[in-house]
Every structure is written in C-alpha cells, then in structure tokens.
Amino acid sequence: MAALPFLLMGCGISLMLAADQGDSEKIHALLQHGAEINARLPFSGTRAIIIAAGNGHLETVRVLAENGADIDAADFTGWTALHAAATKGHTSIVQFLLARHARLREAGWALRSPLRWAETAGHKEIVELIKQANPPLVPPDKNSSLPTMVP
C-alpha cells in the first residue's frame, strides 16, 4: 500500500471524484488550485469528462469542456465521453458534445462506436442525433497492436 500514493500522484483523483459526483463547484476550486483538467487515472486512462458524461452530469461536462478538457479524450480502450453518454442514454450530453464537434471514434478491437452502443441500448433519439450530426470519424489508435473489428 505504500506505493499507492505514488501511483496516484498526478492522476487527479480529486477531480475524478468531483466529476463522478457532478460537483462543478469543486471542479472550479480544484482547477483554481492547479488541478490538471485532462489528468487520467493510471490503470484505465479514464478522464474526468468521461466520468461526468457517463453519470449524466451535463453541467459538470460543460464546466470541464469550457475549462479546456479534451472532449475527444479516450481511455486506454478508446472509450470517450461520447461513448459514455450515448451508452447511458444521456441525450443532453450527447447533444452538447456533438455541438462542440465531438468526433465519432470508429470501432476498434473490442469497442463499438458510440452509434452502435446507442443502437444496442435502444436509445433511438441518440441514434438519430449522431446520424444527423454526422461527426468526423477518428480511426482506431494506429499505435495499438490490437486488430480492428467492424462496428
């Protein structure tokens, strides 16, 4: 356990917790005290904006984006805020991200696109939003040694 503080150093755990709870005021305070807005958790690579999007915290997603969070940031599997919001059925967050020109990550090794996740989950309104927005496609990470699958 002695290594845990070292491993979590710089990962922005406080920012992640605030995003998880939808605590936009705490996020503002953390940013004023030098928190790194695009910090990632060490073992998953997730970021605060992905957590907030998955939990349906629109105001928190907005605060993070307006303060420089990368709306297209992906964790180590390629999961993005758009994936999280589309999968969970958070229509207002999907609208917000698409209005900010979030890119649609193509499916990769073990990950379907946000469009396919929304279809699978039965979120018809989100499926239509994504299709209408026709966001630019981002290919899977070319540095990955994992094979590509059909979305």
Would you state the structure tokens that stand for residue 10, as one six-digit string? 């710089």
Is residue 47 in a domain?
A: yes
pLDDT digits (tens, 9 = 90+) for 19-63: 999 999 999 999 999 999 999 988 889 999 999 999 999 999 999
pTM: 0.81
Q: What is the pLDDT of residue 137?
A: 63
Burial track 98-128 (b if 16+ CB lie within 10 A, e otherwise): beeebbbbbbbeebbbbbbbbbeeebeebbe
Segment 104-127 shows an average pLDDT of: 84
Is residue 58 in a domain?
A: yes
Q: Which residue do the tokens 């599997």 mark?
A: 77
Domain containing 42 equals 10-138
Is residue 22 in a domain?
A: yes
pLDDT, averaged across the chain: 83
Is residue 25 in a domain?
A: yes
Beta strands in 10-97 (DSSP E): none
Is residue 147 in a domain?
A: no
| Domains of the chain: total | 1
CATH of the domain at 93: 1.25.40.20
Is residue 110 in a domain?
A: yes
